[in-house]
Amino acid sequence: MIVSRTALAAVLVAVAAPALRAQQAVYVVKQLNDYASGARYSGAKNPAAPSRNGAMMLTIAKRLTPEEMAAVASYVQGLR
Ligand code: HEM
């Protein structure tokens, strides 16, 4: 599927996704690992206030291999 940058930006704003451009790779890898392990994302533990946003990232992170996390983190750090 091909999505324009403008359309993608609109979706990311709509779901309140944080800007990652130039974020440190070590930070991104840590957040992805924390989503994957459940260390980050409190929605599941608090059904009264579930975080759909955290759930999205948990789903994404769980499907990434350590190599893929490192690769995408390196890419993010290089964005200017
Ligand atoms: C290459 C794909 C992606 C990567 C590497 C990525 C990475 C990250 C990282 C590192 C964070 C934590 C940011 C921080 O702590 O400041 C985050 C949070 C978030 N991302 Fe993604 N993300 C990706 C795709 C997406 C997509 C496609 C969406 C939604 C359509 C999305 C929505 C969000 C949201 C809503 C949060 C905040 C969740 C929260 O409250 O914890 N992300 N993402």
What residue type is assigned to position 64 of the chain? Answer: L
How far is C-alpha 73 from the geometric centre of its chain's CA atoms?
Answer: 10
Residue 61 Cα to ligand 1 midpoint, Å, equals 9
Residue 50: pLDDT above 70?
Answer: no
| Predicted TM-score (pTM) of this structure | 0.84
| CATH topology for the 20-78 domain | Cytochrome Bc1 Complex; Chain D, domain 2 (1.10.760)
Testing ligand 1's pocket by substitution, the residue of 20, 57, 62, 72 carrying the most ligand atoms inside 8 A of its CB is 57
Residue 48 Cα to ligand 1 midpoint, Å, equals 22
Taking CA atoms only, the protein residue closest to ligand 1 atom 4 is 72
| Residue % of the chain over a pLDDT of 70 | 82
Taking CA atoms only, the protein residue closest to ligand 1 atom 41 is 54
What is the pLDDT at residue 46?
A: 59
Averaged confidence pLDDT in the chain:
85
| Tokens describing residue 19 | 């800007």
Nearest-angstrom CA–CA distance, 13 and 66: 27
